[in-house]
Structure 1
Amino acid sequence: MVMGLHPQYLSSFWKTQYLLLRMDGPLPYHKRHYIAIMAAARHRCSYLVGLHMGEFLQVGGNPAWLRGLHCAPQKLRNLNEINKLLAHRPWLITKEHIEALLKPGEDSWSLAELVQALVLLTHYHSLASFVFGCGIKPEEEQDVENNCWAPSPHSDSSPTSDDTMGGSGGTDAMQELEVLMERMKLLQENQLEEEGVTQEEMATRFELEKTESLLVPSSDILDPSLQSNIRCFLEDPEFGYKDFTRRGEQAPPTFRAQDYTWEDHGYSLINRLYPDVGQLLDEKFQVVYNLTYNTIAMHCGVDTSMLRRAIWNYVHCVFGIRYDDYDYGEVNQLLERNLKIYIKTVACYPEKTTKQIYTQFWRHFKHSEKVHINLLLLEARMQAALLYALRAVTRYMT
């Protein structure tokens, strides 16, 4: 229902998910659902875990496996390490991880099976981000109306009602909006003039954004109330996203997007090993990246491409991926602090998303526009993790 606010995206999403779970592919159906459970459990996403436990049984999965990962076949348990890394620190994935899963033996994976598994894992990690980002809850936790974050108090209402809002909240939010519109306009005009920025300066701006994303508090405390139906699918539950630049630690090397791109490398590799899915993923990335209604809050006829790109590139930035030809100064100009906090939380530790951080950013925007951001987050995150995984597969093959 929530994705349905953007019908064009929803249809692309459905096609991909249907192919992953229901159509011919190297993995048997029950294992696909089990992999979905393993992925969703990494982010404590009881909504998706519950959903796929039901699906797993429906396609004839063995109920004993649902007692926990320790009851699943070794072959599936072997995915635990790569599941963990993909969910929280994809930059650590190496060709050795791929090699370990493919090495001959009774529990070994074929390359085609592994690629399907990698797509499923990244699909469900990022879907967990969407679920938490939009506040979607399992039915037993819903009140009748509230199955996701309600629209912000004054969004989705007619533009005129905003003008009558008393109190400072309304005016602050209006100012935020006007500042954003103004900055977009200035950036669009300046792009023509800013030819002279050096590569060094561009790299510095990226590093600045990467470090600044440390603003976001990451709590290392494991929620003690973690439901047992999720805990049983987790090994090493304390393992989570780690900020790049904790003092005294080696930051992961920046992944230069130019060296391994989705368009030139990832897409063709998947298309070789899992043909139709490459096509559908590509379409889904394109749809969301280009999705626009040319509106912002109550303004119409706006070119939002710059804003969409800033959000996409910021998500890739918190996962260590840098575009040489992008000026990360734009991220700073266009994404207010509350929005950055929200993006970082939903992309890196979605289980910590709260209603409060959802309502605090873009207070004048429509609920559907905030859902649009979550779609960008979902796809940018999925692409980032897939790039790391596929790069490791490519290195293993070469």
Structure 2
Amino acid sequence: MGYHKTYLDHFLKTQNFILRGDGPLPYDHRHYIAIMAAGRHQCSYLITLQKQEFLMQRGNPEWLKGLDHIPAKLRNLNDINKILAHRPWLLNKCHIEKLTKGKDSWSLAEVVHAIVILAHFHSLSSFVFSCGLNQELDQLAGYHQYATETALATKTSSNSKTKPKDIPIVEPCEVPEWKTASTPPSPTEPEVGINTLMQRMKTLSEQRQECKPEELAKRFENIETQSAEIGAVGSESHTVPSADIGCYVEDPGFMYIDFAKRDDTQDITTFRVQDYSWDDHGYSLVNRLYNDVGNLLDDKFRTAYNLTYYTMGSRTDVDTSRFRRAIWYYIQCLFGIRHDDYDYGEINALLERTLKAFIKSATCYPDRVTKKDYDRVLREFHYSEKVHVNLMVLESRMQAELLYALRTVNRYMTN
């Protein structure tokens, strides 16, 4: 994240607030909820960090033996955790009611605080895996990112006691030449080059024809159906979590399924942003129940969505907004979320199949992403630009989870 200083600042402020700032949940509970969230994607990197934080907050070491050793109140969060992580469209009022009624009940403010932590660490797991940060601690090259075998060229702080905000920063233009060399193209999967991509963006911007609402809806459905046909990268078989992770995971076989393949008997319709959006609904609700977090989340979402250096690989002065928007909306389409005013036909024009497969895997099956998958996409882009794409996966996914969760909380409060 140090490649993108503006974003990093918002990220650190938000994470610091939800884990250490004012809020209804005790500090040790916050870190344990983070462990439960990271467990859904078998993210040992985040689990290890949060176990350390949990103990620093004087959490009960017995709890680290697994879900069988925690209070019933925390254990009751399991259903919401797994649903939000993999199939957020299944969340309904009953899940909120189960937490807020009876013995070991939660307040609505506590529920919302927990939901924000869960969504944050689910989506952060996507970022960790898609940047290659999840190698085991005891491996020789533990926690290596995909970019390099040697350290990045960095601006290091002269202060030896490095604080979180003193993380070394690398500007996009400062990346060493060996770092940005494009990966050799695959003979079987030729990639759309940056010049072709720029031409397609230019063509789209010059088109003046307006699509009817029916046509826009049809194009969304086409993308939704096509996304179900794109397999995730890596192993298709479900891997059982290792014992040190599995102890924090209930029902490990509960995984993502394509929204287009959801069970029709559940009568789950497409989530239309015009009916419930972050700007008009989610932001105000989360701020009301959990003071100030809405402002921090909003700044973070906006920064990630609007972030640009007007570059694509070696090309400069490029308007990348269409490409960025296609990625953001494709991620939310994977969860059945539709923006009524967006032409989803642009996604097929701008995102090739290998990139869609990478984005789908990073979003829905992050633990399957490998360096080989990472190297196959965006070959002409700088490493910092690939990190930028992974930031959009993080934020668009988190916003999608929060939209479903906050809409459900709102329905519980009003009905």
State the TM-score, normalized to the length of structure 2. Answer: 0.88
1:338-382: CA deviation from partner (whole Å, max 9, x where unpaired): 110011001111111111211111111001000000001100000
Query: How far apart are the structure 1 equivalents of 2:286 and 2:31?
Result: 20
**What is the aligned counterpart of 1:205 among 214, 219, 239?**
219
Same amino acid, percent of matched pairs: 55
User: What's the counterpart of residue 372 of structure 1?
Assistant: 388
Q: Determine if the alignment matches structure 1 residue 112 to structure 2 residue 109.
A: yes
Tell me if 1:285 matches 2:285.
no
- Alpha-carbon distance in 1 for matches of 2:185, 2:49: 43
Match of 1:180 in 2: 197
Tell me if 1:54 matches 2:69: no
Match of 2:244 in 1: 229
SS, match of residue 61 in structure 1: coil
Which residue, out of 68, 78, 94, partners 1:96?
A: 94
Distance 2:138 2:198 in 1: 38
Answering whether residue 120 of structure 2 is matched by residue 126 of structure 1, we say no
Cα 1:174–1:377, aligned 2, differ >3 Å: closer, same or farther?
closer
C-alpha separation in 2, matches of 1:389 and 1:270: 10
SS in 2 for 1:259: coil
Give the CA deviation at 1:217.
2.2
Residue 138 of structure 1: CA displacement? Answer: 4.6
How far apart, in 2, do the equivalents of 1:248 and 1:111 lie?
A: 30
**After the TM superposition, which residues 225-374 of structure 1 pair with which residues of structure 2 at under 5 Å, given as runs?**
226-246=241-261, 249-250=264-265, 252-374=268-390
Aligned Cα RMSD in Å?
2.3
CA shift in 2, pair 1:210/1:266, >3 Å: same
Rounded to whole Å, the distance in 1 between the matches of 2:185 and 2:296 is: 46
Contact 1:13 1:284 in 2 (8 A): yes
**Which secondary structure does the structure 2 equivalent of 1:325 belong to?**
coil
Task: Pick closer, same or farther for the CA change 1:138–1:151 going to 2, 3 Å.
Answer: closer
The one-letter amino acid of 1:243's match is: D
Aligned amino acid, residue 349 of structure 1 = Y
How far 1:181 moved relative to its partner? 1.1
> Residues of 2 paired with 1:364 and 1:356: CA distance?
15
| Matches of 2:127 and 2:94, distance apart in 1 | 31
Q: 1:385 to 1:175 in 2, by over 3 A?
A: closer
Q: Summarize deviations over 1:240-296 as a string: whole Å, max 9, x none.
A: 001123397557310001100000100000111111111000000001111000000
Q: Distance in 2 between matches of 1:239 and 1:214?
A: 18
Name 2:157's counterpart in structure 1: none
The 5 A counterparts of 1:43-82 are 43-82=41-80
Equivalent AA in structure 1 for residue 195 of structure 2 = E
Code of the residue aligned with 2:121 in structure 1: it is: Y
Structure 1 counterpart of 2:229: 215
Match of 1:15 among 4, 13, 16: 13
Partners of 2:83 and 2:90 within 8 A in 1: yes
Residues 41-82 of structure 1, C-alpha deviation per residue, up to 9 Å, x if partnerless? 000101111111111111101011111101100000000000
Secondary structure of residue in 1 paired with 2:145? coil
Secondary structure of the 1:201 match is: helix
- The one-letter amino acid paired with 2:303 is V
- The structure richer in helix per residue is 1
| Paired residue secondary structure (1:27) | coil
C-alpha distance in 2 between matches for 1:34 and 1:237: 18
- CA spacing shift, 1:348–1:327, aligned 2, 3 Å: same
Gap runs ≥5 in structure 1:
none
CA distance in 1, matches of 2:103, 2:148: 52
- Specify the SS of the correspondent of 1:258: coil
**What's the offset of the Cα at 1:27?**
0.4
Distance in 1 of aligned mates of 2:350 and 2:337: 19
Give matches, 1:118-157, under 5 Å.
Answer: 118-138=115-135, 140=137, 143-144=140-141, 147-150=144-147
Q: How far has the Cα of 1:179 moved from its partner?
A: 1.4
In structure 2, what is the Cα distance between the partners aligned to 1:40 and 1:169?
Answer: 33
CA contact (8 A) 1:297 1:364 kept: yes
Q: Is 1:174–1:364's contact at 8 Å kept on the other side of the alignment?
A: no
Report the residue type matching 1:111 in the other structure.
L
- Structure 2 gaps, min length 5: 150-171
Deviation string 1:183-211 (CA, Å, 9 cap, x unpaired) is 01111111xx122x111111111011111
Distance change (3 Å), C-alpha of 1:168 and 1:49: closer
Number of equivalent positions: 385
Q: Taking structure 1 as reference, are residues 210 and 270 closer, same or farther at Cα in structure 2, changes over 3 Å only?
A: same
